[in-house]
């Protein structure tokens, strides 16, 4: 059964130096507040997994906490580059960043395999591309029925998956809705699951198309209203597109970035520590 | 509204290229602008599919990201990302994939991963693959929209992220790629299409006032031309009004 905790306690308890951590949420419901708590606690040497690193991983990478990144699309959606990601890959600042790079279909299927208890997943993909040259987590397999050659991608099983959802009830059952991305698979592939929620309610009302994670597959829940900002939570907030555009300027320069982290993450109280 | 730019004609031409499509897998940026323009002009019933999980989105304004809330709120259905890639894209349900590129070669192969910046300098990092490799592999056909310059239209890709026609005609079949691959590359100078016998991109159309020499000068390989190079029709008043309305919204 999941426990309802303060965010800082849940992060300290679940995420450790050297862990493989997936903070998922495909543009929607990105768990920014939990990542900021990781930065405040200085949890480091992380292997971070995420289809779209987005601004959330740009911040963790720039803060020097990330050893390796497993991903499929590393841009600022609709804006341009992730400058901290680029600086780490190109110049090793603030530390070298090892990368394991896939396509979206490959990453999605790696989570599916992880959630399914399988060592790998099969898909039509990667053939003819140079992606296969740069990773040891893609191979090929012959179909046992037709002999056709298909791509095989290694399962992903994070130590911890962190997601943001709209609601949990007092027993720690969680529901998210809207664009639900790959969160169900990422959560069920992980050893531990931390969910931040907009709101804790007495009873969950089931939503069409909603994803429910029962309490017994969730390790901890923390109530963090606005915890997905500048991403958003359908029904509670809208995407702060202006912030994504402003991030281009904030992140372009190392000093501006560091100053921003000091002012907006390190010197702020965690939202749920009230 | 007689004044228009080649950039506008590029987007209008890309929207026109969707005139026979029922379903379109849309990337953000120019492809999204063109697909949304098609819905407002020649193809009001065009089904827009965004990789974030939205099937049949009807946005009232151009989204900044593929995950903007309006895409889900106006969709016919919202599905998970694994379902999107496995059932809908890999399952062969989508007619047209619409892609951009950082580098494109003569066989319409695409690089969006890294660029070589010369000896002694680290590779320049681009966002990476995203959904493009499987869009290029599995959609019924692929349209590419890209501004024309020698920086983008290169003799050799620094990295192959997504396969167009591989090394030439027959390569897609050899690789087991099930869609037809790129059928047109629409630029701000004109339109390139793969030659039927070699699958090499040749110039088939020029925008009004653009010369073959200009297109050749903006292409990093010796660009061949079709036997008869056509001229793109200028944007109609309705097309221009719809495009400008979209951009202003």
Question: Cβ–Cβ of A105/B133 closer than 8 Å?
Answer: yes
Q: Which CATH number fits domain A3-102+157-273: 3.30.1950.10, 3.40.50.11890, 3.40.1080.10, 3.40.30.10?
A: 3.40.1080.10
Nearest CA in chain B to A84: B125
* pLDDT value of position A269: 67
Give the mean pLDDT of A170-184. 97
Measured between beta carbons, the chain A residues lying within 8 angstroms of B175 are 127-128
- The answer to whether residue B1 scores a pLDDT higher than 90 is no
Domain of residue B45 covers 6-248
* pLDDT value of position A32: 98
Distance CA B50, CA B39 (A): 15
Question: Cβ–Cβ of A180/B78 closer than 8 Å?
Answer: yes
Measured between beta carbons, the chain A residues lying within 8 angstroms of B84 are 108
* pLDDT value of position A270: 56
Residue B78: inside a domain: yes
Looking up tokens 């209008």 gives: B12
Question: Cβ–Cβ of A85/B125 closer than 8 Å?
Answer: yes
Give the mean pLDDT of B73-89. 96
Asked whether the bond before A94 is cis by omega within 30 degrees of 0, the reply is: yes
Helix B30-40 and helix B237-248, axial crossing angle in degrees, nearest 10 = 130
- The answer to whether residue A207 scores a pLDDT higher than 70 is yes
Nearest to B80 among A77, A90, A181 (CB): A181
* pLDDT value of position A272: 40
Distance CA B106, CA B202 (A): 8
Is B51 an active-site residue? yes
> Each residue of B194-227: pLDDT tens digit?
999 999 999 999 999 999 999 999 999 999 999 9
- The answer to whether residue B108 scores a pLDDT higher than 90 is yes
- The answer to whether residue B19 scores a pLDDT higher than 80 is yes
- The answer to whether residue B249 scores a pLDDT higher than 80 is no
Q: Which of A246, A187, A245, A249 is nearest to A212 (CA)?
A: A187
Number of domains present in the structure of chain B: 1
Interface membership of A91 toward B (CB under 8 Å): yes
Share of chain B above pLDDT 90, in %: 90
Distance from CA of A263 to the nearest CA of B (A): 27
Interface membership of B132 toward A (CB under 8 Å): yes
Q: Answer for the pair A123, A109: CB distance below 8 angstroms, yes or no.
A: yes
* pLDDT value of position B2: 66
Q: Name the band, by pLDDT with cuts 50, 70 and 90, for residue A198.
A: very high
> Each residue of A75-120: pLDDT tens digit?
999 899 999 999 999 999 999 999 999 999 999 999 999 999 999 9
* Residues of A (110-139) whose Cβ lies below 8 Å from B: 111-112, 123-131
Measured between beta carbons, the chain A residues lying within 8 angstroms of B131 are 73, 103-105
Interface membership of B124 toward A (CB under 8 Å): yes
* Residues of B (139-198) whose Cβ lies below 8 Å from A: 159-163, 166, 171, 175-178
- The answer to whether residue B44 scores a pLDDT higher than 90 is yes
- The answer to whether residue A17 scores a pLDDT higher than 70 is yes
ipTM: 0.95
> Each residue of A219-234: pLDDT tens digit?
999 999 999 999 999 9
Domain ranges of chain A: 3-102+157-273, 104-154
Q: Name the band, by pLDDT with cuts 50, 70 and 90, for residue A215.
A: very high
Q: Name the band, by pLDDT with cuts 50, 70 and 90, for residue A271.
A: very low
Give the mean pLDDT of A163-183. 97
Nearest to B166 among A77, A128, A245 (CB): A128
* Residues of A (28-87) whose Cβ lies below 8 Å from B: 28, 51-52, 71-75, 77-79, 81-82, 85-86
Nearest to B78 among A85, A125, A209 (CB): A209
CATH of the domain at B84: 3.40.1080.10
Give the mean pLDDT of B132-139. 96
Distance from CA of B133 to the nearest CA of A (A): 7
Share of chain A above pLDDT 90, in %: 95
Give the mean pLDDT of A201-216. 95
Q: Answer for the pair A153, A189: CB distance below 8 angstroms, yes or no.
A: no
Half-sphere exposure of A45 (CA within 13 A, CB side): 4
Q: Answer for the pair A226, A237: CB distance below 8 angstroms, yes or no.
A: yes
Question: Cβ–Cβ of B127/A209 closer than 8 Å?
Answer: no
Distance from CA of A202 to the nearest CA of B (A): 26
Average pLDDT, chain B: 95
Distance CA B208, CA A233 (A): 47
Give the mean pLDDT of A51-64. 98
Residue B1: inside a domain: no
* pLDDT value of position B168: 96
């Amino acid at each position: 059964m999941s426990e309802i905790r303060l965010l800082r306690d849940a992060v300290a308890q679940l995420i450790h130096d050297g862990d493989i951590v997936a903070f998922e949420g495909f543009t929607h419901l990105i768990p920014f507040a939990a990542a900021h708590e990781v930065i405040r606690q200085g949890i480091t040497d992380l292997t971070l997994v995420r289809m779209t690193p987005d601004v959330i991983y740009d911040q963790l990478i720039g803060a020097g906490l990330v050893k390796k990144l497993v991903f499929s699309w590393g841009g600022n959606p609709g804006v341009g580059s992730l400058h901290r990601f680029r600086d780490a890959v190109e110049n090793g600042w603030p530390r070298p960043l090892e990368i394991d790079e896939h396509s979206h279909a490959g990453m999605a299927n790696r989570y599916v395999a992880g959630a399914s208890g399988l060592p790998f997943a099969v898909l039509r993909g990667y053939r003819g591309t140079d992606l296969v040259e740069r990773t040891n987590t893609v191979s090929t397999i012959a179909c046992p029925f037709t002999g056709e050659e298909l791509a095989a991608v290694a399962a992903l099983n994070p130590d911890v998956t962190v997601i943001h959802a709209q609601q949990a009830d007092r027993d720690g059952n969680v529901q998210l809705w809207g664009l639900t991305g790959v969160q169900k698979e990422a959560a069920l592939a992980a050893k531990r699951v931390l969910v931040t929620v907009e709101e804790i309610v007495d009873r969950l009302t089931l939503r069409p198309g909603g994803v429910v994670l029962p309490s017994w597959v969730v390790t901890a829940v923390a109530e963090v209203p606005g915890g997905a900002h500048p991403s958003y939570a359908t029904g509670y907030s809208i995407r702060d597109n202006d912030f994504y555009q402003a991030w281009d300027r904030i992140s372009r320069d190392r000093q501006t970035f560091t100053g921003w982290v000091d002012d907006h993450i390190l010197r702020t109280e965690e939202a749920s520590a009230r | 509204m007689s004044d228009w730019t080649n950039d506008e004609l590029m987007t209008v031409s890309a929207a026109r290229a969707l005139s026979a499509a029922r379903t379109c897998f849309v990337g953000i940026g120019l492809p999204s602008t063109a697909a949304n323009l098609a819905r407002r002009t020649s193809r009001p019933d065009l089904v827009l599919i965004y990789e974030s999980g939205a099937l049949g989105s009807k946005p009232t304004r151009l989204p900044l990201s593929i995950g903007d809330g309006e895409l889900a709120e106006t969709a016919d259905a919202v599905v998970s990302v694994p379902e999107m890639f496995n059932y809908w894209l890999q399952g062969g349900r989508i007619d047209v994939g619409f892609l951009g590129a950082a580098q494109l070669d003569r066989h319409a192969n695409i690089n969006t991963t890294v660029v070589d910046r010369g000896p002694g300098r680290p590779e320049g990092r681009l966002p990476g693959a995203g959904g493009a490799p499987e869009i290029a592999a599995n959609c019924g056909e692929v349209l590419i929209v890209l501004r024309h310059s020698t920086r983008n239209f290169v003799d050799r890709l620094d990295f192959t992220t997504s396969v167009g026609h591989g090394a030439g005609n027959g390569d897609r079949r050899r690789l087991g790629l099930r869609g037809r691959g790129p059928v047109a590359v629409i630029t701000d100078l004109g339109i390139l299409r793969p030659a039927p016998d070699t699958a090499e991109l040749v110039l088939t159309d020029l925008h009004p006032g653009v010369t073959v020499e200009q297109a050749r000068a903006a292409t990093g390989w010796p660009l061949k031309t079709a036997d008869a190079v056509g001229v793109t029709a200028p944007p109609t008043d309705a097309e221009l009004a719809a495009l400008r309305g979209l951009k202003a919204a």
